[in-house]
Structure 1
Amino acid sequence: MAARMNILFSVNAAWNIWNFRRPLVEALIADGHKVTILAPRDDSAPRLEALGCAVRHLEMDVKGLNPLQDFKLLMRLRQHFRELRPDAVLSFTIKNNIFGAIAAKSEKIAFIPNVTGLGTAFLSRGILEMVAVTLYKRAFRNLPVIFFQNEDDRSLFVERGLVAVDQARCLPGSGIDLDRFAAAPYPLEHGAPVFLMIARLLRDKGVLEYVDAARRLKSVHSQARFQILGATDAENRTAIDRATVEGWEREGVIEYLGTVEDVRPMIEKAHCVVLPSYREGAPRTLIEAAAMARPLISTDVPGCRAVVDDGITGFLCEVRSAESLAAACESFIALSHEARVALGCAGRQKMENEFAQSIVVDAYRRALQDLARKTTDVAA
């Protein structure tokens, strides 16, 4: 275990830490470290404080691309780092990674980012991509460790010269609590198949393709049900508004389930969980569903294909193609009850072998031990 350290988490929403990084926070506190969360304060803040960590509000424009606002964020991060003087900053989400790394370097503070996704700017094939690449290259140069959520993203950064091979380490997403997301009995053999998509309602998540595929399939399989669970009107440029969703409901294409604190009951009732995303870091909803022994359908893109073994734990389809997604759903409908159960069991086994949260916690512990060792060597 590393010597006791003052550790700062930096992220664009406190709920991100509560939902995805809580086991890491709990482990570091149990190890005796002081933990502070630097993020825009929301309803998750009191729960994080109850774990034993401090929460400091970070003012930031989460979705904007205004250079002036981003410069102000850089200055705010620098000021917070200067005041808190952490031994290490563990950072997540794009702006916190890029501007946090630059701010930490100016304050000579160790900084460990986790590339949870690349964002539309990095993949835009235009001026925004050039800016993003330049910023990443400057921000990540000479950092001790950079975590990636899938091998595709890690390889992309290495190939483009944004990080060195010895900097880049791959994690299985955020890991999964295999006890909390335990394998659930599969729904009874009889009854209409229930497809469930869990995601923020963003175009980049493939929501439009999912709705179009549902429309195609319901013309043939009228009893099939297509559900969507997730927030509308999100703080994102590709968000889908509530009025659009209400239109789909009136059409009878989808069932909108809103949002819930605990997704497990919804996953348990589903026959198959679907995520036709354009690209992911590590899709949490697919990982949770596989852990609960549910078959998956997703796109053959970075992040998603790391979770879904085509034909073994579910099916992969072409990205941005409602036709291909509908064909994958058709293939699932044609399966026997026993074959569907087998897909789910294989997914659960994959999560046990590759995605346990202990793998992620141990990787961060090793990174902090390395930092502490280097600090000791320098001091000596």
Structure 2
Amino acid sequence: MSNEIIAVLGAGSWGTALANVAAENGHDVRLWSHRASQVAEINETHLNTKYLGDNPLNEGIVGFSDMQSAVENADIVLSVVPTKATREVAQQLVTVLANIDHSVILMAATKGLEPGTYKRVSEMLTEEVPAKYLKGLGVISGPSHAEGVIKHDPTLVSAASKDVVAAEKVQAAFSNQVFRVYTNTDVIGAEIGGALKNVIAIGAGALASLGYDANAKAALFTRGLAEISRLGQAFGANPITFMGLSGVGDLFATATSVHSRNFRAGVQLGEGKKLSDVIEDMGMVIEGISTTKVAHELAQKKHIEMPITSAVYRVLYDNVDVKEAIQTLMGRPVSQEGK
């Protein structure tokens, strides 16, 4: 495995965990954050306490608050900032790449959809970053809680790109004995699955808070995955993708774990807390909240049946009680499975 220069933009939990994987593989890893205090902590103590507690980081990670210093001569750049910050950071990246006349493999590891435009993260990056600065563009998706990755819990993810060579280069850079990367050419499916599983995870957390057992959880997962697949296929995704890491795998991990912010948000909503209080309590971005609104609007626009997404939307945005939302779902007219 050749030594690569890898810049990770975004020092949240997932960005830091990915940086740590790359550093453990012996690469030159630069982790960028706009917070100088966070960069100082990473460099001086090899910790990122806000996001990953007292889990030590590989000393090969170097923190930067100056993006140009982080990106200079990089082979691979990972964008791991919240969906709402993706365009702004991409614009900063373009300025840097133009200044140094450099092109990179750009991979997004953010799971969300843009409100208003309904764009996937890779579409946003395509719009913001001129092709001349790209050696390849794709996404990293799959069942991967940062808290598990940093503790070397065996993890499998997908590097999806239409550029197979770029995906394989990312695969080689990040794969090791505890972190395995598969390649995939279905970028649409990987992104739709990665974004919409957060919606179902909110519902799963609400079910858990109310004490529902395996039957209800299995029903939610199965019918939730059907909704994700229907929407994804409407945009050209391969249905097989939703049976893989970016579909059922990511859904299972996110909708069953307390490490999932979306799951924890659902638990609090099920306990009767207001959405504003849930957001304040979490202190970190809960991508599923905005994704629910986007998915709900997309379903209406495309005339796609997504009753679970609609139910989560009503809880989040119409202040409908969780139990009432469940009763509405169970009271829908019976139909044939697969439709």
Q: Pick the TM interval, shorter chain.
A: 0.3 to 0.5
TM-score by length of 2: 0.41
Return the structure number with greater helix share: 2
Could you tell me the TM-score, scaled by structure 1's length? 0.37
Bigger CA radius of gyration? 1
